[in-house]
Amino acid sequence: MTKRILRQKNLTIENNGLSSLSVNVFITGQGSPKIAVINGLHGLERTGAYLMPKLLGELKLKSGTVAFIPFANPSSAERNTRLTPEDNQDLNRIFPGNKNGTLSFRLAAALFDYLKDFDVVIDIHTFPKMDMPIIGVFFANIENGLRQKLLYVLKAFNPDFIWKLDIEKGETAKAGSLIEALLKIGVLAFSVETPDVEIINENQERRFVKGVQNLIEVLLKPESFNTQRKILIIARQPSLATSTGFFVPKKTIFQKVKKGEVVGKIINLNGFETETVRATAAGPIVFILKKTFVFTGERVAIVGNIVE
C-alpha cells in the first residue's frame, strides 16, 4: 500500500426516501490545481478504478489536489450494468441532473455539484472487448476561448488519439454527458476511453499515469508546455457486423487502411459462411474487437478519419 495520505469523503444520495447511496471520493494533496478523476458513470466499466491506485502510487504532487471517484454509479457497478438499475437511466446522458428526480438524476446532481469546483475533470470510460489505444475525447461544441484551453489540456494529457465529438454534426445521441454539462459552466473536462482491465497493457497504464502527471505540471507552469505536440484528431467511422456470428479481426490498432479495405471477417450462423467487414473510411484503425461472438449491427471496428 502507498504511504500517501488519502482523505475520504462520501457523497450521499437519498434513494426513494427508504435508503441512501454513497459515492466514495478519495482525495490526496492540497491547494491548486484541483483535478478530479472519475470512473464508472457506466457501472460495468472498471478500468478507471483499476488505474486509480497506480496513479495514486506514482503521481509526484508538488502542489495540487487530486480527487478520485472509482465508482460514480455504485448500484450499476454492483450489478454490472451500463444503466442505473433503479430507474434504467444512462447516467451520462442526464447531466446536470435534478435534485428532485429519480436516483440517476439525483446522483447526477450530486456529482455535478461536487465536480463544478475543479479546474480539470477527467471522466474515464471503457469500450468492452475492444483492442484500442488511450483516446481523449474532445467535446467541440463550445465557445472558442474554452475550446482552445480544452485542446491545450488534452494535448498535455497526451493520448494516442483525440476523438473530436461534434454533437451538432450527427452525434446528438451523446448529449447530456457530464463533460458537456461541466464545459457549459466553464470547467475544463474531457473523457478518456481506455481498454478493458483484461486488455489494457503496461505501456498504456504508464501512458495514462504520465498523462495526468504532465497535465498537473502544465497547469502549474503553462510556459513549460510544448504546444507543438502533434496528436492526430479524428472523427470515428465505425464498421458494423453484417451478420450474427464470430468476428475475427484482420487488422490491429494504428494500422492504416483504405476505404473499403477488409478489417475482419464474420463466420455467420447461416451455413457458416464467411463474410468480410470493410473499413467505411480511410485512416488508422483506432478500435477493433477481439475475436468474439457478435450480433448483426454491432460495432466491430472503428477507423479514425483524420480531421486535424
Which of the 8 DSSP states describes residue 51? H
**Minimum distance from residue 18 beta carbon to Zn ion (Å):** 28
C-alpha cell at 48: 478507471
Distances from the Cα of 112 to the Cαs of 11, 41, 183, 269, in angstroms? Answer: 11, 12, 11, 46
Minimum CB distance to Zn ion smaller for 45 or for 180: 45
CA 227 to chain centre: 23
**Minimum distance from residue 298 beta carbon to Zn ion (Å):** 16
The H or E element that residue 293 is part of is strand 292-294
Minimum CB distance to Zn ion smaller for 48 or for 211: 48
Residue ranges that bind Zn ion, judged by CB under 5 A: 42, 45, 125
Cβ proximity of 249 and 264 under 8 Å? yes
Cα–Cα dist 140/191, whole Å: 12
Backbone angles phi, psi at 269, to 5 degrees: -95, 0
Secondary-structure percent of the chain, ordered helix, strand, coil, rounded to 5: 25, 35, 40
**Minimum distance from residue 127 beta carbon to Zn ion (Å):** 8
Minimum CB distance to Zn ion smaller for 167 or for 267: 167
Count CB neighbours of 297 within 10 A: 11
**Minimum distance from residue 306 beta carbon to Zn ion (Å):** 24
Cα–Cα dist 170/86, whole Å: 30
**Minimum distance from residue 125 beta carbon to Zn ion (Å):** 3
Minimum CB distance to Zn ion smaller for 123 or for 264: 123
Count CB neighbours of 121 within 10 A: 24
Minimum CB distance to Zn ion smaller for 83 or for 216: 83
Minimum CB distance to Zn ion smaller for 83 or for 263: 83
Minimum CB distance to Zn ion smaller for 64 or for 159: 159
Minimum CB distance to Zn ion smaller for 42 or for 106: 42
Which of the 8 DSSP states describes residue 48? H
**Minimum distance from residue 193 beta carbon to Zn ion (Å):** 8
Cβ proximity of 69 and 23 under 8 Å? yes
**Minimum distance from residue 49 beta carbon to Zn ion (Å):** 13
- Residues paired with 120 in a beta bridge: 35, 188
Residue nearest to Zn ion (CB): 125
**Minimum distance from residue 25 beta carbon to Zn ion (Å):** 19
Q: Where are the beta strands (DSSP E) in 171-298?
A: 188-194, 233-240, 245-249, 256-257, 262-268, 274-278, 283-289, 292-294
